[in-house]
Structure 1
Amino acid sequence: MPRETQPETKNAAPLPPPRVSVVIPNWNTRKFLGMCLGSLERQLFRDFSIVLVDSGSEDDSLEYMAENFPDVRVIALGENRGFAAAVNAGIRSGGSELVVLLNNDTEQDPLWLESLVSAADSYPEAGFFATKMLDFSDRRYLDGAGDSIRPDGLPYRLGHGERDRGQFDRRAYAFGACAGAAMYRRAMLGKVGVFDEDFGSYCEDGDLNFRAQLAGYRCLYVPEAVVYHVGGGATGGKRSRTATRLGSRNSLNVLVKNLPLALVPHLLPFFVAGQVVRLATAAATGVLRAHLTGLKEAVRMFPKMKAKRREIQRCRRLSDGEVLRLVRGAALDSTASVARRVRDLLLRRSSR
């Protein structure tokens, strides 16, 4: 596998940890493992290890790993506690300087890791790094180019559904990174904390993005680092009942934990409008009950999120004005991205 090891000799000093640790969560998605791990084997950058964290898969994922990738370290949790718990177990298991999170329904360009590490060396002020994600089935279209925030304050994946015309081909600072293919400095995670396991899955990266920004860390988008993403491999896609419930719940948790009170009047009109649109969309797509369940769960979780909020706000380094400028810039970026996405969707349908 990636990093070559030398046989241990008596009294020999232990080998230092690899510079990069790649953490891959897995739950009943054995069908993607060969593609994902095979493309990792073809990476030009070699100083990395792989940790696969299995959340109690009931398919033959563990047997497949033992037979086909015996050199990959596997952590078997025995149960599914969500994406956040899985990747946290992988993060805590190593001591590498850089931690990469990777969905297993991805194929990586051979320069992917090399590009990320090069960016980390060139931008020491950046605490985490977003990659360029393309649609696996139709690689003319983007799956994401860093994460942002919509005008209503909710997380948004920049570029999603847009035709790739080179609009995201320059390095730039973004609000955050999609944890499906992102790199983090371990030192930053030590300061702001890892992923919130109360989220389970969905928006846990949006929460970490916001926490990191409040603490003064910047996220660099690295367009040379390219992955091809299938999407929806474990939860049935973004319109599934599970995705709808968790997304509705956790998107509110992100705001409760992270949004400074001074920004509430600025976002409130957009937030109310956004909630009305989400309600109508859920009704039109047959997932209204799941959406309402998610909102009820958010209400029940409010006291716990509020308690976490106190520590986050106590430790933040950005002023209210700086956070407002950051959020407004992210909202403008997401609005422009949505407009391009709608245009490209209409063009795509008209060409069929």
Structure 2
Amino acid sequence: MPSVSPNKAGACPDGVAAIWTVRNARDVLPLSLGAVRRLVPAPSRIALHDDGSDDGTPELAARESAAMEIVRLPASKGPSRGRNLAIESAPERYVLLLDGDASPEPGALRELMAAARRAAAAVTLPRVLTQDGFLQHGPAHMSWAALPRFRGWWGEPATAREGAGYSAGGATAMLIDRRFLPEGVLFDEDFGLRLEDADFLYRVALAGGRVAFAPRAAVIHLNPGLEDERAAGVAYPAQKMALQSRNRRLLALKSFAALTLILTLPLQFAVEIVTAALAAREGVLGAYASGWIQTLRALPSALRARRRIQAGRRVGDRSLLTADLPSFRPSVLSRMRPW
């Protein structure tokens, strides 16, 4: 992957801002804040971007930390707007983006920064663990199906080593080096939830930015639903079906080269058949249809974004995509096995 010339953020100081983007995280935010207080080195600034919470999260944050900067976003549109604000407005070189249920271990920031510097990475990802110590996921490569293939996934052995060259991943926590982030590459605020992180990371890699992994940087994911997910006991929600199917299509449409889109048409068709069958099995076929309607409505803006993305392309799809099957959550696999 080619090196990236430092962008206009190159003159910013080398401090680290730890910034949460949250919605209704009252139950877990104090634990996350406590973990950030124990980080070495300590962040030079902490902030919370609240995405329309109605459970008192920003008020709790203000009581927990008088030093925390709190920005109240007017209405909930998903985490991307708060993350973009964190990246664009920070005077610091480094921005540690955190979900409200992310609890980094004390040495995580040191390991993330060291790996980022060694790789000259725009984004560096940690190892994400469940509360009982199981691996939830490592970094990922984007698959030809426009879904991420994680390297280490839900208790599987971690197969990723330190280094760059990844093209997808999760956003529970990630370190942004603004100096090496390709100019104009931000989270897509129209994605809402589902695949917004993989979409962002693929576009970072497509524009020539390095996506790295720091295996010794561990972050605990405090989401209480993860234990049920690992036991395959979580139902497939209708909203997830609509948003994930829509965003998968839009990701491919925006970012894949024309030849890639043509060559993967049979694969995309197969994914649609499997997704529709899963939706029917789970009783959310209406949500799958809603995802198609949302896809069609988003086409004009997606095509405009495609022109910008393809104009800024520095890397070919072939070097970023993997032929491995995408990663599916245990709850999804358990529903697919009887087929």
Q: TM-score, normalised by structure 2?
A: 0.84
- Larger radius of gyration between Structure 1 and Structure 2: 1
How much does 1:238 deviate? 8.3
Find out whether 1:323 has 2:317 as its counterpart: yes
Q: Distance in 1 between matches of 2:147 and 2:168?
A: 13
In structure 2, give the amino acid aligned to 1:180.
Answer: T
In structure 2, give the amino acid aligned to 1:116.
Answer: L
Provide the residue aligned with 1:89 in structure 2.
85
Provide the residue aligned with 2:174 in structure 1.
182
Find out whether 1:293 has 2:286 as its counterpart: no
Which residues of structure 1 form unaligned runs of 5+?
1-15, 347-352
Q: 1:248 aligns with which of 245, 249, 253?
A: 245
Find out whether 1:279 has 2:271 as its counterpart: no
Provide the residue aligned with 1:153 in structure 2.
146
Q: TM-score, normalised by structure 1?
A: 0.81
CA gap 1:85/1:232 in 2 versus in 1, 3 angstroms: farther
How much does 1:82 deviate? 1.3
Contact 2:146 2:251 in 1 (8 A): no
In structure 2, give the amino acid aligned to 1:260.
Answer: A
Find out whether 1:23 has 2:19 as its counterpart: yes
Contact 2:20 2:99 in 1 (8 A): yes
Contact 1:132 1:227 in 2 (8 A): yes
Structure 1 segment 185-196 matched on structure 2, within 5 A: 185-189=177-181, 191-196=183-188
Provide the residue aligned with 1:307 in structure 2.
304
Q: Distance in 2 between matches of 1:295 and 1:311?
A: 24
Q: 1:229 aligns with which of 196, 217, 221?
A: 221
Q: 2:133 aligns with which of 118, 131, 139?
A: 139
Find out whether 1:70 has 2:74 as its counterpart: no
In structure 2, give the amino acid aligned to 1:220.
Answer: A
Q: Distance in 1 between matches of 2:59 and 2:191?
A: 29
In structure 2, give the amino acid aligned to 1:132.
Answer: R
Structure 1 segment 99-178 matched on structure 2, within 5 A: 99-124=95-120, 126-136=121-131, 138-140=132-134, 142-163=135-156, 165-168=157-160, 170-171=162-163, 173-178=165-170
Q: Deviations over 1:229-281 (max 9, x none)?
A: 13487xx9883222222211111111111000111233222211111111111
Q: Distance in 2 between matches of 1:48 and 1:275?
A: 46
Contact 1:154 1:252 in 2 (8 A): no
Percent sequence identity over matched residues?
A: 29
SS at match of 1:118: helix
In structure 2, give the amino acid aligned to 1:73.
Answer: E
Q: Deviations over 1:82-133 (max 9, x none)?
A: 1111212222332111122111112211111010111122122x22111111
In structure 2, give the amino acid aligned to 1:106.
Answer: A
SS at match of 2:264: helix
Q: Deviations over 1:324-351 (max 9, x none)?
A: 2321xx332x55x66xx87xx89xxxxx
SS at match of 1:187: coil
Provide the residue aligned with 2:33 in structure 1.
37
Provide the residue aligned with 1:239 in structure 2.
236
Which residues of structure 2 form unaligned runs of 5+?
1-11, 335-339
How much does 1:157 deviate? 4.0
SS at match of 2:320: helix
SS at match of 1:133: strand
Contact 2:23 2:53 in 1 (8 A): yes
Provide the residue aligned with 2:255 in structure 1.
258
How much does 1:169 deviate? 5.3
User: 146-155 vs 271-280, which deviates more?
Assistant: 146-155
Q: Deviations over 1:41-82 (max 9, x none)?
A: 111212432211111211121221121122111101132121
Contact 2:111 2:214 in 1 (8 A): yes
SS at match of 1:183: strand
SS at match of 2:116: helix
Q: Distance in 1 between matches of 2:59 and 2:308?
A: 43
Q: Distance in 1 between matches of 2:195 and 2:47?
A: 22
